[in-house]
Amino acid sequence: MLIRQLKREDLDEISAAHFKAWYETYSPDFLPLKVIESMTLEKWRESWQRNLAPCNQDHHLCVQNNAGEITAFASFGANLDPQNSDEFLGRMLRIYVLKDYQGQGVGRALVQAGTEHLVKQGITSMTVHVVEANTPACRFYEHLGGEVIFHCLVDRVGYSIGEFTYGWRDIRSLLKPQNT
């Protein structure tokens, strides 16, 4: 497993990985089908073009398997959420691990790498937003010590979707090895 920073040359592969991860993560049990289908490969490509632009200040990481394929990715940066940005300075913007690679410590390794980057920037607290119905992700964040600090409904293609915000008041605890 290799963790590295994403580059502009990764645009096509990260877009395809995000598209695949989106469909693997969000079944109609979690989100209405219309919401899931609203995110096409082209929309992910447009999103990643913005994410990988030189002016984007976020830290984008990926995990490659032995064959060099992107199997997981995450993004970290400043927390711009007016609800809690005074108390929580950093944010995990996204983290996805393809289904075949879940349960192998890949997500934890990405969180550690992203947290390390934030701490080097002087940021020691962080949030992440997660769809309320995504119980596996909620359990993952709770296992890492995240606490629900906010709940809201967000509009996604005309549907109200419950969303939790998890927070870590001191992310330096995420840098320590854990027995799982």
Which CATH number goes with the domain that contains 106? 3.40.630.30
β-pairing verdict for 2-5 and 147-156: unpaired
Lookup result for tokens 């929580």: 88
180 is a domain residue: no
167 is a domain residue: yes
Structurally, the chain folds into a number of domains equal to 1
E-strand stretches of the chain: 2-5, 59-64, 70-78, 90-97, 126-131, 147-156, 159-168
Give the range of the structural domain holding residue 38, as residue numbers without chain letter: 2-175
101 is a domain residue: yes
37 is a domain residue: yes
83/137 Cα distance (integer angstroms): 22
Tens digits of per-residue pLDDT, 64-115? 999 999 999 999 999 998 888 899 999 999 999 999 999 999 999 999 999 9
Output the pTM of the full model.
Answer: 0.92
**pLDDT interval class at 27 (50, 70, 90):** confident
Tell me the two tokens of residue 4.
Answer: 């590295």
